[in-house]
Amino acid sequence: MAAYFQMGHDTENLIGEKGLELFKGIILSPLNRNPDELHRYIKLFRGKGTYDIVFDPQLYFPRSKRGDLKSHPYYPKDFETADLSDISWWSSVIDKLVKYVNVLEIDTICSPVFLTRSWREDYYLMSVKIKDLLNSQIKKINPQKKCFLTIVIDVKDLTDKEKILKTASIVSSTESDGYYLVFLNDINPRKETSKDDLLFGMMSFVRELKATGKPIIVSHCSSDLLLYKYAGADHCATGKFFNLRRFTESRFEDSSSGGGQLPYWFEHGLIAFLREPDLLRILENRLDIINIDSSNNCWSKIILENIKSTKHNPWIKYGWRHYLASFSLMEEELTKNPLLVEDWILRAQENWNQIVATRSYPEEPDNNGAWLAIWKQTIDNYKKNTI
C-alpha cells in the first residue's frame, strides 16, 4: 500500500525524482498525451523503477477538459450523441480499448465510465456492466492485467446513508480486482474540504468498499488523504498541480498552472498549505511549528535555504516536490497506523493556536485551520457509527 502519482500536464519528469521513491504507482492521463507520447513515457517509467502503472480511460472528464483524449483509438466519435445506457454500444468501445491497452506496458486498467447528471442506481448498474464487459475481454487476452472498477460519485450524494449503502452494494456485487474511486466535488482544489456531512459520507463509502477485501485507489487527493486512509483506503493518488488533487467539473483559477504559479509549502504540523509570506512570518516569529514530520524531507532544506538567501530564486518546482514527498511519507505512515490521523489533527490545532496567539495569520483568505475542528468532529462521528 503506497502513494500513486496522478499524472497531468508536464508531470513525467517527477517520476523517479529524489525524495519521491515511496510512490509505487502511476495513473496515466491519456487526455494529456497522444498515443505516441504515452507509449514513450511508459517505457521511460519502466526504466526508472518498479511501478503499478494504471490506465484510466478518462471518459468521465467534461468535454472542456478532454485535451488529447480524442486522439486515442478507443475514444468513440459519437460519444456526445450515443445512448450511453446501451451496453451493445459500449461493446465496440471495449473492443478498441482492450486492443489498445494490450500493447501498452501497463499493469492495471480502470473501467471506462461516463459523467452523469442523475446519479441514480441505474448509472452504477451500468458502470458495473461496462466493467464486466471489459473484465471478460481483457482476462481472455492477458489474465495478468488487473481490471479495476471505476466509481465516479458526486460527494453530494453521500449525505444520504441509504444511498451510500445501496450504491456500495451495487458496485461490490461484481467481481473486480479492485476499485478506482473518483469523488466529484465542486470545492476549489486549493481549499480544504470542510463540510462534515460530505466528509463523513466519503469516509463511510470508503469503509463500505473496504469491507469487500479488494484494494481501493482514491484518486485526486490532497491533505484529505488523512481521512481516506483512516477509513481504510489502500492507496491515495495525488499530483503536481492542485487540479490533480481534487476532481471537479468547474474550472478554477488554480488549474494546471498550479495555483497561478505561486509556490506553496505544505506543513504537516499545520496540515495546511502556506504561501511564502506566511511561511516567512511564522519563521520570523520563531514558532516551532514548521518543518515537522513529513514536511522535513530532502526538499525542505532546499526551500528554506533559498527563501532566506539574498539570491532568492523562484521555488515553485521545489514546492511541488516538497508536497509530493510529504504526501508519500504520510501515506506510508498511515498505512502502518491510520490512528495517527487523530494525533496529527490535535497537534495541528495546537499549532494553529500558536499562530493566533502571535498574530501570525496567513494572508490567504480562510487559511486558518478551521477545517481541522470539522475533521476531528467528522472522525468522532465516524467512530461512533462504526465501532
Q: If pLDDT is split at 50, 70 and 90, which confidence band does 252 have?
A: low
How far from 128 is each of 101, 159, 379, CA to CA, in Å?
20, 22, 30
- Spatial distance between the Cα atoms of 203 and 217, rounded to a whole number of angstroms: 13
Q: Which of 324, 325, 326 is nearest to 6 (CA)?
A: 324
Type of residue at 22: L
pLDDT of the residue at 256: 43
Residue 34's CB is within 10 A of a number of other CB atoms, namely: 15
Give me the DSSP letters along 232-279. Answer: T-SEEEE-SSGGGSSB-SS--SSSTTTTTT--EEEETTTTEEEEHHHH
pLDDT of the residue at 260: 53
Cβ-proximal residues to 148 (8 Å cutoff; 6+ apart), any chain:
54, 108, 109, 110, 111, 176, 177, 178, 179, 180, 217
C-alpha cell belonging to residue 154:
458526486
Q: Where are the domains of the chain?
A: 3-244, 265-386
Q: If pLDDT is split at 50, 70 and 90, which confidence band does 387 have?
A: low
Lowest mean pLDDT among 248-252, 288-292, 293-297, 376-380: 248-252
Largest CA distance in the chain: 65
pLDDT of the residue at 308: 86
pLDDT of the residue at 353: 97
C-alpha cell belonging to residue 364:
490567504
Strands (E), 260-344: 264-267, 272-275
Backbone phi, then psi, for 370, in 5-degree steps? -60, -25
Q: What is the pLDDT of residues 174-233, one digit of tens each?
A: 989 999 999 999 999 999 999 999 999 999 999 999 999 999 999 999 999 999 999 999
- Spatial distance between the Cα atoms of 191 and 223, rounded to a whole number of angstroms: 10
pTM score = 0.95
pLDDT of the residue at 259: 43
- Spatial distance between the Cα atoms of 340 and 374, rounded to a whole number of angstroms: 17
The answer to whether the beta carbons of residues 368 and 362 sit under 8 Å apart is yes
C-alpha cell belonging to residue 112:
471506462
Average pLDDT over residues 312-335: 97
Percentage of residues of the chain with pLDDT beyond 90 = 91
Average pLDDT over residues 329-340: 98
Beta-ladder partners of 28: 55
Q: If pLDDT is split at 50, 70 and 90, which confidence band does 365 have?
A: confident
- Spatial distance between the Cα atoms of 197 and 199, rounded to a whole number of angstroms: 6
Residue 294's CB is within 10 A of a number of other CB atoms, namely: 22
Q: If pLDDT is split at 50, 70 and 90, which confidence band does 316 have?
A: very high
The answer to whether the beta carbons of residues 222 and 245 sit under 8 Å apart is yes
Average pLDDT over residues 300-315: 90
The answer to whether the beta carbons of residues 262 and 316 sit under 8 Å apart is yes
The answer to whether the beta carbons of residues 5 and 23 sit under 8 Å apart is yes
pLDDT of the residue at 65: 82
Instruction: Give how far the C-alpha of residue 76 lies from the chain's centroid of Cα atoms, to the nearest Å.
Output: 26
Q: What is the pLDDT of residues 253-274, one digit of tens each?
A: 444 434 457 999 999 999 999 9
Q: What is the pLDDT of residues 47-102, one digit of tens each?
A: 999 999 999 999 999 887 889 999 999 999 999 999 999 999 999 999 999 999 99
The answer to whether the beta carbons of residues 364 and 326 sit under 8 Å apart is no
- Spatial distance between the Cα atoms of 331 and 248, rounded to a whole number of angstroms: 23
pLDDT of the residue at 255: 42
Q: Which of 325, 318, 275, 272 is nearest to 296 (CA)?
A: 325
- Spatial distance between the Cα atoms of 364 and 116, rounded to a whole number of angstroms: 34
pLDDT of the residue at 336: 98
Lowest mean pLDDT among 24-33, 63-72, 130-139: 63-72
Q: Output the CATH code of domain 3-244.
A: 3.20.20.70
Backbone phi, then psi, for 109, in 5-degree steps? -120, 135
Average pLDDT over residues 356-384: 95
pLDDT of the residue at 250: 76
Helix (H) or strand (E) holding 150: strand 146-154
What is the residue-averaged pLDDT of the chain? Answer: 94
Q: Any idea which residue has 500500500 for its cell?
A: 1
The answer to whether the beta carbons of residues 139 and 184 sit under 8 Å apart is no
